[in-house]
């Protein structure tokens, strides 16, 4: 039984104010396809960045991540640019991205 049905049975009234779509769920096959695009080193960098919360508001700094990986911040930046380029290529493969940009 769904929650809304249970609420109705119990006589609760409710009003839906916002409904969010979580979007497309990435399948294991899609994850594997994206991972296959990355080198082992890029996967290591991506895992470290994720584990250390680099993209989180209060996550690790570039200096902290670079130190953890034993590389300079400029090398980290290069790795991240290359990783993101492959991610974007994977996501937008076959799309004409220029057509989606408003002039």
> 54-79 pLDDT, tens per residue?
999 999 999 999 999 999 999 999 99
Domain membership of residue 18 (yes or no) is no
Q: Which residue has the higher pLDDT, 54 or 27?
A: 54
Count of domains forming the chain: 1
How far apart, in Å, are the Cα atoms of 96 and each of 43, 81, 100? Answer: 27, 21, 7
Q: How far apart are CA 30 and CA 91, in angstroms?
A: 10
Domain membership of residue 15 (yes or no) is no
Domain membership of residue 10 (yes or no) is no
2-11, 45-54, 77-86, 92-101: which range is least confident on average? 92-101
Range of the domain at 72: 39-94
Domain membership of residue 23 (yes or no) is no
Tokens standing for residue 74: 């400029």
**87 membership: H or E segment, kind and range:** helix 73-91
Domain membership of residue 86 (yes or no) is yes
Domain membership of residue 82 (yes or no) is yes
């Amino acid at each position: 039984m769904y929650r809304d049905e249970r609420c109705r049975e119990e006589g609760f009234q409710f009003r839906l104010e916002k409904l969010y779509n979580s979007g497309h769920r990435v399948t294991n096959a899609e994850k594997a396809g994206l991972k296959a695009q990355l080198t082992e080193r890029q996967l290591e960098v991506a895992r470290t960045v994720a584990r250390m919360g680099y993209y989180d508001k209060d996550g690790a700094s570039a200096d902290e991540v670079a130190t953890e990986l034993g590389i300079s911040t400029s090398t980290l930046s290069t790795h991240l640019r290359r990783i993101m380029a492959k991610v974007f290529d994977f996501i937008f493969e076959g799309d004409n991205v220029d057509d989606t940009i408003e002039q």
